[in-house]
Structure 1
Amino acid sequence: MNDRPAPRRTAKPNVVVTRHLLPSVEARMSELFETALNLDDVPMSRDRLERAMQTADVLVPTVTDRIDADLIAAAGPQLGLIASFGAGVDHIDLAAARARKIIVTNTPGVFTDDTADLTMALIIGVPRRLREGTSLIRRGEWTGWAPGALLGRKLSGKVLGIVGMGRIGQAVAFRARAFGLDIRYHNRHRLPEAVETMFGATWVESLDDLLAQSDIVTLHCPSSPGAKGMIDAARIAAMKPGAILINTARADLVDYDAMIGALESGHLGGAGLDVFPEEPRVDERIVALPNVIAQPHIGSATIEGREQAGEKVIANIRFWADGHRPPDQVLEGLV
């Protein structure tokens, strides 16, 4: 087991938080631990992260902090827990942490509904051309209702292809069923028949087949060496003409240059994006495309979700400090 002896129970662990969290979460952390907060919310530089890891018992990073093997190797011997704020852990080198006997935890499940809600908003908004309509009104160029104005596509009867049928993928399927979408999915492993029946979902063994069948494709799989760039130029070219791509998962799943080219040519009918390769920078070509709804990585941005994530971080630290295995310990190879 990837464990390390906990600090003495009589001492509060020294906790460094890399970003500004909700006030209620920070207040509770300050009560329970010796906590260093980042109140100005400026992302920590690599040097600042390294200094923090040389002195902290617990580091609380977020998905924007790249905790690689070199940083972990330079950490002080007291660092025993990386309690990440967020469900994803691809920003942490788990193998390097395991080698140093540093436990890694995350906050699974708390953002499932929030991300599924935003995904559904994009699934609705892109084919109904909501960005174009909003822009028309903001520019003062709307001339009134007309039979042929801003014609979009209805959802009912369209094929929704879900890539990755974990918690979020299933939550999207649950919502999409109410809109009359024909739900098909690709996953590493087929779901039990009872689960498929509950969501009205059909398993498609081949990703290529799913892409070829779908009117709308939405991505909900984690980043991994095998998944990076899986929606490449060839696969985008094989998608239905006019198909729509939704990505609220990870930017590196998609070849964004190929996607932009397909959007510009009209092969793709639109895209809904919440993640980008070089955040916070967004490619100017994406910004200029009228058939793209782009959001600033807000899939998990609800007060309730962020509070629950903070509570999970606190619980994981308390379990570890008391000498117990944290409830959300991430085991390498099982993510």
Structure 2
Amino acid sequence: MSKKRLSVVVTRRLPEAVETRLSELFDVTLREDDRPMTREELGAAMRQADVLVPTITDEIDAPLITQAGERLKLIANYGAGVDHIDVATARQRGVLVSNTPGVLTDDTADMTMALILAVTRRMPEGMAVMQSGNWDGWAPTALLGGRVGGRRLGILGMGRIGQAVARRARAFGMQVHYHNRKRLREEIEGELEATYWESLDQMVSRMDVISINCPHTPSTFHLMNARRLGLMKPDAVIVNTSRGEVIDENALTRMLRSGDIKGAGLDVYEHGREINPRLRELKNVVLLPHMGSATLEGRIEMGEKVLINIKTFDDGHRPPDQVVPSML
């Protein structure tokens, strides 16, 4: 007698190849449209499924997990970050949580460098001039940006993505500095030609570019607060492809408006889609719609990780990418 197939609910549209493979392996419920589930829809899904496949747009907090049915045994997150999931409450309820680490490292690092270049070379302003039809031709002093080669880059968070950013920055001739919870091993530090700063304040005050590459945790919330942003040099820029909550967005907006910070490149925001309207108006800011990891190759690799985590769990083993509270 064949084993009953797991009931899997997916909260957002995924690449077609991923959805097809999920359908082949499990009793899967897919989305007809790509809008985020409401809280009520999420609750209903968690009561009917053995496995939930959520994304960063789904806030799965303690009350939702507490209301989940007895069937729910695995939350196989489609994404590396799990700050939208109450992992501790899930564990108390006997629900495993897995994620998809590692597959988006290069894509996110590429976008970090793209933002650094876009901000320092004023690319959006140039695009706006061309799209307006008001370009008067080349001029020696028009839209002067800055050269990235020789600039000091301070990386906040030197995990997989931070190290990938460092390798790219070195290729552009930047001097790499970093702050991390733990100092890198000597051989990795040597390979990256990276200078470690135990004091984040001291690093921030000396850098030409700050790149946020750390996760959002209680200890990193507003790590770049008004005081620390105020330590940045007036001609420095900051880019963030990690989590919006790491930067105090209102303080950043004020300093960008006043010229205390030269520019910013942001792919993530403190309040999700609710972006400070004053931030949108600034010419010295590049805003992207959370597309740092948006490559087809990366999205399919994420789906493959989800599939492996679910299949391994279905076979009675620990998912290879299980997340436990001690990791956060």
- Deviations 1:39-85 (CA, angstroms, capped at 9, x unpaired): 20111000110011011000000011011000110000111000000
What amino acid is the match of 2:69? Answer: G
SS in structure 2 opposite 1:213?
coil
Alignment match of 1:265 (pick from 258, 261, 268): 258
Structure 1: distance between partners of 2:87 and 2:208: 37
Q: Deviations over 1:238-257 (max 9, x none)?
A: 11112101011111101111
Distance in 2, Cα, partners of 1:298 & 1:241:
28
Instruction: Give, as a single letter, the amino acid of the residue that structure 2 aligns with 1:48.
Output: E
Aligned to 2:243: 250
Question: Among residues 308, 312, 316, which one is paired with 1:319 in the alignment?
Answer: 312
Counterpart for residue 112 of structure 1: 105
Matches within 5 A, 1:204-283: 204-283=197-276
2:38 to 45, 52, 58: 45
1:271 counterpart SS class: strand
Q: Which residue matches 2:161?
A: 168
Deviation string, structure 1 residues 302-333 (Cα, Å, up to 9, x no partner): 00000000011011000001101111111211
2:18–2:300 contact (8 Å) kept in structure 1: yes
Where in structure 1 are there 5+ consecutive unaligned residues?
1-7
Asked if the contact 1:9/1:321 (under 8 Å) is kept, the reply is: no
- Scaled by the length of structure 2, the TM-score of the pair is 0.98
- TM-score where L is the length of structure 1: 0.96
**Alignment partners' CA distance in 2, 1:278 and 1:98:** 27
Determine which of 175, 196, 200 is the counterpart of 2:189. Answer: 196
For residue 280 of structure 1, report the CA deviation from its aligned partner: 2.3
**Secondary structure of 2:14's partner?**
coil
Structure 1 counterpart of 2:56, from 54, 58, 63: 63
- d(CA) in 2 for partners of 1:191 and 1:39? 45
| Alignment-derived partner of residue 86 in structure 1 | 79
Pairwise CA distance, 1:9:
7.2
Does the alignment pair 1:18 with 2:11?
yes
Candidates 81, 97, 101, aligned match of 2:94: 101
| Contact in 2 for aligned 1:16/1:36 (Cα 8 Å) | yes
Note if contact 2:246-2:270 (Cα within 8 Å) is conserved in structure 1. no
Q: Which amino acid letter does the alignment assign opposite residue 307 of structure 1?
A: I
Question: 1: distance between equivalents of 2:149 and 2:278?
Answer: 31
Task: Note closer, same or farther for the CA distance 1:265–1:31 as it changes in structure 2 (3 Å cut).
Answer: same
2:285 corresponds, among 284, 292, 306, to 292
Does the 8 A contact of 1:164 with 1:221 survive in 2? Answer: yes
Q: Secondary structure at the match of 1:92?
A: coil
Contact 2:279 2:285 in 1 (8 A): yes
Q: Post-superposition shift, 1:286?
A: 1.6
Q: What residue identity is the alignment partner of 2:86? A: D
Q: In the alignment, does 2:306 pair up with 1:330?
A: no
> Alignment length, in residue pairs?
328
1:100-151: CA deviation from partner (whole Å, max 9, x where unpaired)? 1111000000110000000000111101000110001111121111111111
Who is 1:135 aligned against?
128
On the 8 A contact 1:9/1:322 being kept in 2, the answer is no
Query: What RMSD in Å do the two structures reach over aligned CA positions?
Result: 1.0
